[in-house]
Amino acid sequence: MKKTCIITGGSSGIGLSCVELFLENGYQVFNLDLQPSDKGEYIHCDITNLNAVRESISNIARSYKIDTLISNAGIHFSGTIENTSDAEFDRVLDINVKGAYAAIQAVLPSMKKHRDGSIILIASDQALIAKQNSFAYNLSKTALASMAKTTALDYAEFNIRSNALCPGTIETPLYHKAIDNYVARSGANKDEIHREEASLQPIGRLGQPEEVAQFALFLASEKASFITGSLQVIDGGYTAQ
């Protein structure tokens, strides 16, 4: 029988790479996203609608044993605390944090029933360090790290593992959108900014979504059966500086 993986925000970037890799490795993959995709089983779902998230996952659980949840849906937002409006703050938390909260709640009954499961939260290197002009985003990713650790402790007795993947600068549509927004504000040259970002990484390049997906596949596997409550960094050495 195929293992089942649910991925939120699986239509682009790291999420799409996870969908593709888990499919290649024989998983039944469900993608909860607003953006349509022909990869895996696509379910139209607004991650900010917590009841819709719960209902979508509950419907899957009626027919499938849920083996893995990858909570990936997220947005980036640049701004200091003064430059972050109430609406912008709420939107970052609604997507990055509350969506993960609802998804985890929804998979736990199935995982508890079968006494098995792997929960993987896609956090960020900003779960470990701070960066300038990143108040709301940084806070949201730190929250995901905390969520991974507390969930790991609360559900270890059911053999449910919970970990946070903490990518550094990964070349995704989200990355390019953030660069484009900066270029629009500052008038800087995008190619130069792209080269500067790569040079900031000790390894000398940006990470690729496929590399994060490979790490997620490992964390979902039996090879990682003793890993829970951890923050796994994949950042080209950035946070080691």
Catalytically active residues, by annotation: 137
Distance CA 110, CA 123 (A): 24
DSSP 64-120: S---EEEE-------B-STT--HHHHHHHHIIIIIHHHHHHHHHHHHHHHHT-EEEE
Selection from 155, 159, 170, 147 nearest residue 230 by Cα? 147
What's the length of the chain? Answer: 241
Distance CA 120, CA 4 (A): 14
Q: Which residue has the tokens 């993959």?
A: 29
What pairs with residue 69 in β-bridges?
6, 119
